[in-house]
Structure 1
């Protein structure tokens, strides 16, 4: 009995630590929307992302080496890293950065809170985990979609003739990419989190550096000191540090648990946008955001039936 109590306490402590890490990751990624908004006026999307992932890749490789880890040599693993780097970094970072050229950082953060709904939709479409999909989660998807539709419709009214609707769609595309990334990332469970992060980020850099050079010629740019500082913060904190936490949480909490921090990330993004960038939030826009958050909470929260059947830790 005493052994069981100790085990339960140990499991509770472990879960508490992982939840705190999830909160930290949500804050870090929530601040990334603010930093992108600061950098984007003088550093275009492809160049910003290329610098971000390259700096992060170097840092992650150095950290892995300092911990005594080596990057794998198998071609199959690097092919998987390439897909992970595309889904988790190269594609969503670029879509969000371009999107924030046309919409507020807070709105981008809220629209990017939808990965859990995409995870659930993928589960329904593929049949994987369909038995665990409850009515509560289906209602959550409906609420989230209604919130997205309301938010996009409201913003589109003020952005008629602009790229705002397409920018919103780009951020939602990033959400889909984020939903696919942890599912794909489960195949790296036999590798240390730092090795997976370093390998995937290196592949993201391999993809983005040539693209930035060809499309934006970054050597011709004259970015502000504030923009450069924002990109460095994005690379070191929001990418390198965040990736280490992210891959750890995939191993401990799983894909859906990891993406459940999306609504917290959205809250941080909105709050920081208002506090630091002077962004405004209308009541109608707030209503759409509340629906999105409510939907994500419903999707990620355990159903009552499941809680009744399974004793709490």
Structure 2
């Protein structure tokens, strides 16, 4: 008779599961003291993420290589970790026009697990492997697991490696057992949680910070920004359309009405930006951009905006100059 997983004792070696000696009396505290204790613990997360900076940068390089060569980034995770992966992936479309054909997330238990726990989903390595069954050598699979041991994630990483894909791991356990399955392991030492084992707290915050850094740095490297301005944002509502006009004004120093007119003529932010910076029409701007498409290997100008403007005899300036 095959034993049920619950019949087999599990010993997780992770500080995220340890009892925090600084919070043993939290149930005796008034609200103000309780909040101060929680936020004090949270304050340690940012330095812990910063300490993993070199590993995050290495993962950014893998992500740029994947998307820059026509591959994909696949996040896989369970529980809070997996939900954060879904959140990061879906936010890339309105912000940078990068859809699920380029960055996709798989959550153990499927979409149902976004709002309710799915029993046993994270303990199924075969399901993790099935989620990434179609990846190839040009792709990057990033496992998300606070403890660094989740079987669903392990199954995905092993399958990805067997198919020649690059692999990464984002965990909050310096002793993560899955680290050996990743080309780059980002192991953030967040220590014990305020409430023992509640990894939606410090560990979740750390993983959100790492994902924000990873995806944002990747998008910048791929030429999705000009200076610190988003130039591929989707204007899906009035607020975002106004933001685009304001961004053009910030980037060029031109009045809002000129920026609005250039955007109407050009039809997209990149072309409008070159029109305004180089004082040319949309036809000339579009041709210059076609000769200088986004390229992460173009040092100092991955978007190609500065180069296109220079070739048209204009001068690209950073906002604020």
Task: Report the TM-score, using the length of structure 2 for normalisation.
Answer: 0.30
Structure of higher RCO (CA pairs closer than 8 Å, 6+ residues apart): 1
Quick check: which has more Rg, 1 or 2? 2
Give me the TM-score of the superposition, normalised by structure 1. 0.31
